A and B are shown apart, each in its own frame.
Chain A
Amino acid sequence: MIPAAFDYHRPADLAGAVRLLAEHGDEALVVAGGHSLIPMMKLRMAQPGHLVDLRAIESLRGVRVEGGTVTIGAMTTQAEVIASGPLVDACPILREAALQIADPQIRNLGTVGGNAANGDPGNDLPAVMLALDARYTLEGAGGRREVAAREYYEGAFATAREDGEILTAIRFEAPPAGHGCAYEKQKRKVGDYATAAAAVILARSGGTCTHASIALTNLADRPLLAAEAGAALAGTAAGEAEIAAACAAAQAIAEPVSDGRGSAAFRTRLTGVIVRRAIERALATAA
């Protein structure tokens, strides 16, 4: 549980960080809260020669809600998200999901950007970002670009982010006022990644579910957007038959592994149960 040797850098601004990454190539990794990376380093599963700490870069911090657009700086901690009034008002699912990450000590250091950028299928925020259709801003020596969260995750720890790119911010349109949402997560204990988890965001108008997006955590080698499941609800009254169809559609795309949380068969079947509970809770919270 002792990491290999590395050099530590703490650039004061983004340009400095980008420069260091360009200089050291795939020898370098950025560190944000360190709560995914440092354990991997202690297990020597990650052995970066250079660690570029983003902590001193003020421009990467903070939450802005302007009009309907929410922007979260990558270095905003999970605890700050939970405590951010305007963000929670505009998009309560983020708070709900963040509260189910690890424990308060970890959330005090763990960042939104680290959680989203990491590419660990166990992380909770990526599914929320898929459901929100968020966009990730990446900056590297080659400049700035935006990637849709829905295009970002390619496999376990494999993402659309190039070496040398830093996730600087996450941006999304807040769901309409009166929307319903839920992040339902089953885990074995505090600090555990999900046995199965689902993010549901939906809106209702009159008796009709006008919009629904559903995404899944830790049920495949990457977070999954359950597009068909959402489609099964959208434009319907979201009655029992439609809910059942949505759950079946979500369950059909789940490809969990067997691990200490249970067999793949159990986790697959649990997917339907968790999605149903998330939908029912989201419907109950919708105006």
Chain B
Amino acid sequence: MSEQAAATTEERIEKLQGLGCARKRVEDARFTQGKGNYVDDIKLPGMVFGDFVRSPYGHARIEGIDKDAALAVPGVLAVLTAEDLKPLNLHYMPTLAGDVQAVLADEKVLFQGQEVAFVIAEDRYAAADGVELVEVEYEALPALTDANRSMDEDAPVLREDIADKTEGAHGARRHPNHIFTWEAGDRAAAEQALASAEVVAEELVVYQRVHPCPLETCGCVASMDKVNGKLTIWGTFQAPHAVRTVASLITNIPEHNIRIVSPDIGGGFGNKVGVYPGYICAAVASIVLGRPVKWIEDRMENLSATAFARDYHMSGKIAATRDGRITGLRCHVLADHGAFDACADPSKFPAGFFNICTGSYDIPSAHVEVDGVYTNKAPGGVAYRCSFRVTEASYFIERMVDVLARKLDMDPAELRRRNLIAKDRFPYTSALGWEYDSGDYHAALDKALAAVDYPALRAGQKAGREAFERGETRTLTGIGVAFFTEIVGAGPVKNCDILGLGMFDSCEIRIHPTGSAIARLGTISQGQGHATTFAQILASEIGIPADRITVEEGDTDTAPYGLGTYGSRSTPVAGAATAMAGRKIRAKAQMIAAYLLEVHEDDLEWDADRFQVKGNPERVKTMAEIAFAAYNQAIPGIEPGLEAVSYYDPPNMTYPFGAYVCVVDVDVDTGVTDVRRFYALDDCGTRINPMIIEGQVHGGLTEALAIAMGQEIAYDETGNVYGGSLLDFFLPTAVETPTWETDFTTTPSPHHPIGAKGVGESPNVGGVSAFSNAVNDAFAHLGLTHAQMPHDHWRVWETAERLGLHG
């Protein structure tokens, strides 16, 4: 018997570094040494550079474009405008939301920063000089930047290209600036619940326009090989296969002649899901010039022109009994989509999964209605580190529950406890139509409240308020309690698709003769650590150590088709595919082992990394031995090799949840807030790698802090964008980031092969509400029910001012 075989099962499991192991991230060696390979690191022979002329206006007619001065700049090769793209029918491109978007402005510009012309030059400097010299003559038009006014009778018509279309991709349009109306739930029942309620609380909850702001901006290198007709695009793509299909459909280049590669990606957070004019222009320029063309956004372009997030104006009514049983919920959303509807949502869900807005509560009747409208703002509406519109939904319900608690004069944690969906109700079907897979919400809330000693926190807050009254301090403390349920892992092909592409995902595994492996997936990591965690899933499934499994993603010529990484879908969907493909490998391995051990397959049992004959632990074949046999023995009835592929269509979404508590001290004279404590309990089902989970939670909470306390992309009435640079757009550094306390419970998903639910986005979804609830809570005793985000110094000071705290 080999030495290895002598190890106990537990020891061998530990060596695999499979599920549950806090394995170090295999990606980090290259990142920490500056050896990552991002799009802008790609340098090809003969490569040239593209740069955009962008609109200084929010709304204007283009009277003329003069390229001559730009073309005279040494090194400038070409200047593309809409006129050049028209013959190719590429001046507009389809968006993921069923609308079209101008690739280069066609007669009109509709937002500040919109792409007007594309200058291609030998180097970046010449391109920038060329951009400066393209002369565009504009006639300014009145800008529409208040979504509340979009459907006014006298509102300027923004989209002349579709002004007379009365049907949009999601039904009838009532106004030229109207995109869609979408509803869910039972309106009559919800109205009835409100009409007959003992208590109704109402609030307008605005989730301001923000931006995912990945550290690496968007960009690509497009290279047309004129010899074989193959177009390769390296780019910051969160969904490379979808990009390939879309590229094929709009260029008519056969799909096998397009190769999309996502190299290392420096954060996506939803910003890199969509298709941007830069990609199209770079591809066209490469086709025209026969040279590789690189386009890389700068920070201001990224913040002001590529996809924003949120901008949801949510009017809510929540009904309850006097003793705090929620009986009904209504919500109307005015959704500001900007100049083109370029949201990234599954086709049938123009408002994403906003109808998860009953949250974690057992609410018997509910109705939501969402009106999407155009404004003179950048297009987008992506899921910034959340599943589609889930952060908006979660923020809405968590604020409404707090507002209701004020009205009932009840502790917000207690009100939550009374309404959380009970453990024995799962699978639970919500009034808005989702089937929650599993949960133990009360256990999570109780654990969280005990961990922070909630009663002591409230007692401290009370003492502080009394001291404030006596004039001994100018600080007020707020305690924010938030509970959230996410809906992630889109999704079942029967109702989830993007541009007709079902939202399954995939994994293909090849076991090498010497017992190591490569797995390729249809997803693409942008920092999530897939190469680490997917190898762990496989290690547990097939008994090959995670260190001997290469995980590869992002090259459409080699990876199996998949819909990419966003909406916390990688683990729920591609992770499931990985487990299922692993099980196929194991099934074949079992047949091989049976042959080698001369027993019937049913007489074998799996033991961590080997099959053993039942009742005879001496007779084993390790996975490594089996792999070798698969390649060097002729086994009757079994094909050589050991490979498998799985395409996984999830039967349901997964529903991670959590309970967060935030304690914030507010200086009422300066508006400065100090997060004294933040506790986050996450339940993401089976935990694949606790260290990666903790890292994801830290990152997501930091983004939640940023959103709640400062991020905003604002526009003035003439269409100027504010917040378009990191001077103003709040990206916290370590200095602004408090200490995070993380915790967990584990409630596996019953329908996922390994019970995992996804975690990358939970902290953003739950975190924003916790911060906002805390700031609002600081002033609750003074009559404040709701103050809008962001809770920056100025707004917090204004709240204190409105409440008369400045004497």
Q: Which A residues are closer than 8 A to B by beta carbons? A: 1-2, 4-5, 44, 103, 186, 188-192, 195, 259-263, 266, 269-270, 273-274
Contacts and interface: CB of A to CB of B under 8 A. Distances in A.
B672 A186 contact: yes
Given A4-B129, A186-B670, A262-B797, A269 B806 contact: yes
Interface string B720-755: 001100011011110110000000000000000000
A1 B733 contact: no
A5 B128 CA distance: 10
27 contacts: A1-B298, A2-B125, A2-B127, A4-B129, A5-B125, A44-B132, A186-B793, A188-B730, A188-B792, A189-B710, A189-B730, A189-B732, A189-B736, A190-B735, A191-B733, A192-B727, A260-B722, A262-B792, A263-B794, A266-B671, A266-B793, A266-B794, A266-B797, A269-B797, A269-B801, A269-B806, A273-B670
Given A260-B728, A274-B670, 8 more contacts: A2-B128, A5-B129, A44-B132, A186-B670, A186-B672, A188-B730, A266-B671, A266-B794
Contacts of B797: 262, 266, 269-270
A262 B722 CA distance: 12
B132 A4 contact: yes
B299 interface: yes
Mostly helix, strand, loop or mixed at chain B's interface?
loop
Contacts of A2: 124-125, 127-128
Nearest to A2: B128
How many B residues touch the partner, as a band?
20 to 34
Contacts of A192: 727
Contacts of A266: 671, 793-794, 797-798
B669 interface: yes
A192 B736 CA distance: 12
Contacts of B410: none
Interface string B764-801: 00000000000000000000000000001110011001
Contacts of A103: 733
B463 interface: no
A195 B736 contact: no
B300 interface: yes
A39 to B, nearest CB: 9
A190 B793 contact: no
A85 B127 CA distance: 48
A195 B127 CA distance: 37
A262 B801 CA distance: 14
Contacts, number: 61
A237 B305 CA distance: 57
A273 B128 CA distance: 45
Contacts of A269: 797, 801, 806
A190 B733 contact: yes
B401 to A, nearest CB: 30
A5 B130 CA distance: 12
Contact of A262 (B723, B794, B806): B794
Contacts of B731: 189
Nearest to B722: A260
Q: Which 6 A-B pairs have the closest CB atoms?
A: A262-B794, A2-B128, A260-B728, A1-B298, A190-B735, A273-B669
Nearest to A196: B670
A192 B728 CA distance: 8
A135 B728 CA distance: 33
Nearest to A187: B793
Nearest to B301: A1
Given A1-B299, A263-B794, A188 B670 contact: no
Nearest to B731: A189
Residue of A189, A191, A195, A262 with most partner-chain B CB within 10 A: A189
A189 B801 CA distance: 23
Given A5-B125, A260-B722, A260-B728, A188 B733 contact: no
A269 B793 CA distance: 13
A191 B726 CA distance: 10
B240 to A, nearest CB: 27
Given A5-B125, A266-B797, A189 B299 contact: no
Contacts of B722: 260
Contacts of B792: 188, 262
A270 B667 CA distance: 12
Contact of A189 (B132, B298, B735): B735
A190 B736 contact: yes
Nearest to B123: A2
A274 B669 CA distance: 9
Nearest to B125: A2
A190 B710 CA distance: 13
Nearest to B797: A266
Interface in B70-127: 124-125, 127
A186 B11 CA distance: 56
A266 B670 CA distance: 9
Contacts of B801: 269
Q: Residue among B670, B672, B733 with the most chain A CB within 10 A?
A: B670
Contacts of A274: 670
A104 to B, nearest CB: 11
A201 B792 CA distance: 30
Contacts of A191: 733
Contacts of B798: 263, 266
A266 B798 CA distance: 8
A188 B710 contact: yes
A217 to B, nearest CB: 15
B622 to A, nearest CB: 52
B125 A189 contact: no
A195 B792 CA distance: 12
Contacts of A189: 710, 730-733, 735-736
Contacts of A270: 670, 797
Contacts of B794: 195, 261-263, 266
Question: B124, B672, B723, B794: which has the most chain A beta carbons within 10 Å?
Answer: B794
Contact of B300 (A1, A5, A260, A261): A1
Nearest to A276: B669
A188 B669 contact: no
A250 to B, nearest CB: 15
A89 B415 CA distance: 58
Contacts of B672: 186
A47 B381 CA distance: 37
Contacts of A5: 125, 129
A103 B723 CA distance: 21
Contacts of B670: 186, 270, 273-274
Nearest to A262: B794
A8 to B, nearest CB: 14
Nearest to B672: A186
Interface in B614-671: 669-671
A186 B792 CA distance: 12
A227 to B, nearest CB: 25
A51 to B, nearest CB: 15
Contacts of B671: 262, 266
A195 B797 CA distance: 13
B793 A188 contact: yes
Contacts of B723: 260
A225 B237 CA distance: 53
Nearest to A266: B794
Contacts of A4: 129, 132
